[in-house]
Amino acid sequence: MGLVIAIDGPAAAGKGTLSKRVAQAYGFAHLDTGALYRAVGVGVLRAGGDPADAAAAAQAARALRPDDGILNDPALRSDEAAQAASKVAAVPEVRAALLDFQRTFAATPPGGAPGAVLDGRDVGTVVCPNADAKLFVTASVEVRADRRLKELRERGIPAIPSDVLEDMKARDARDSQRTVAPLLPAADAFVLDTSALDADQAFAAATAFIGTKTGFGPKV
């Protein structure tokens, strides 16, 4: 088993961009665990169901396969998919169905990679509690809402700032207050607040921490 780096945090904190860059820099495999939940949410919606319906969500999770292509579906990047993912993630049966997928990826990274970077909501606390390095990437809800607003507008999606902020607050509450694997930093995680950091600064802080935990620096 190679090195495992767990990167958790709330929506629009920058963990996705950071995780991909860290994986590339170290030559590790990368898994956006949130994409799994988005895929489940989209699967429920496409079947005409309600993502809050535990039975429908569990059925969609059990049907998910790593080679069916849905993890690369552009629909997973929609705000609708994000909201659906937050709802299905609160279903214990969904989390159980996806846990083995994530742990197998971490234990045996595809392509013979020497390690894996997993980003999500509960990687450091539940999926890989023994990860070699754990980070919790966060930012103020106002900053994150501004980032999401910019992202939506760049994609040509009309959005009202106050609605985006309220949606962000509601999602934070749902993620942090759920009884199963709530969103919170692992006790030994490095909390990285990106509110006032650009991508390069966040990357530098993350790799410095990873170096102290593993003794390794980025290859590129």
Residue 14 annotated in ligand binding: yes
Residue 15 annotated in ligand binding: yes
State the number of CA atoms in the 13 A half-sphere of 212 facing the CB.
10
Residue 84 annotated in ligand binding: no
Chain centre distance of CA 191: 15
Q: Dump strand ranges (E) for 23-181.
A: 29-32, 115-120, 133-138
DSSP single-letter state for residue 27: T
The neighbour count for residue 49, using CB atoms within 10 Å, is 17
Residue 124 annotated in ligand binding: no
Q: Which of 121, 123, 126, 58 is nearest to 94 (CA)?
A: 58
Residue 115 annotated in ligand binding: no
Give ∠ CA 39-19-80 in degrees, rounded to 5: 30
Residue 11 annotated in ligand binding: yes
Residue 20 annotated in ligand binding: no
Task: Quote the CA–CA distance of 88 and 168 in Å, as a whole number.
Answer: 17
3-state secondary structure 162-206: HHHHHHHHHHHHHHHHCCCCCCCCCCCCEEEECCCCCHHHHHHHH
Residue 10 annotated in ligand binding: yes
Residue list, annotated binding site: 9-17
Residue list, annotated binding site for ATP: 9-17
